[in-house]
Amino acid sequence: MNNPLLILQTLDRHLDHAVELTLYGRAALALGFPAHEARHETTQDVDAIIPLAQLVQLRADEQFWNARDATNAELAAHDLYLTHLFTEADVFLLPDWLNRRVPIVSSFTHLKLLRPATLDLILTKMMRGADPEDLSDIEFLLKHEPRPAAELRIAFNRVRMPDMQELRDAFRAAQPKVLALAEAREFGGLKTG
């Protein structure tokens, strides 16, 4: 079973109007990449990024929050939830992330789904530092859409970071490991000596 799909189908059923969600985390991998891995479907939650321009409207959308609560109540017995709804200021993203989002093809009645561009997804996956699961997801992203280490270094210097030292430290700790993954993919086919 594709857990993110089930969560979003349930939310869509509880909604009575159009809502745009930008998914990130494993839900974005499970729904935004046709060649995703089976483990991406087992995530127990759906996370979304709220653009600052959409924040006031979404906060005032009482029916959306009621639909979210109804979804969580309906799926609680399965330990499935629509949980983390962060603003763009709370997530590692490039300044132009909003213009580079990728539509997620779906057949929902009310939901319009998008995901950040692959480079932005990589940055979001660095929020927990060198977490093995996140590094595995980054490896998947680099396999799907290879990025040279030089491009990643530029992104690391341009990224907008939340104002939390713990997150900044985690991001710095992840950088060498992410660069090593990119370099292994970039130079993996070259013979030396």
Secondary element (H or E) of residue 83: strand 81-87
pLDDT per residue as tens digits for the range 96-105: 999 999 999 9
Is it the case that residue 62 has pLDDT exceeding 90? yes
Mean pLDDT, range 14-32, rounded to an integer: 97
pLDDT per residue as tens digits for the range 77-93: 999 999 889 999 999 99
pLDDT at 190: 45
pTM of the complete model: 0.92
Q: Share the mean pLDDT of the chain.
A: 94
Helices (H), the chain: 3-14, 26-32, 52-59, 62-75, 118-124, 132-144, 149-158, 165-187
pLDDT per residue as tens digits for the range 116-161: 999 999 999 999 988 999 999 999 999 999 999 999 999 999 999 9
68 or 83, which is more confident = 68
Is it the case that residue 165 has pLDDT exceeding 90? yes
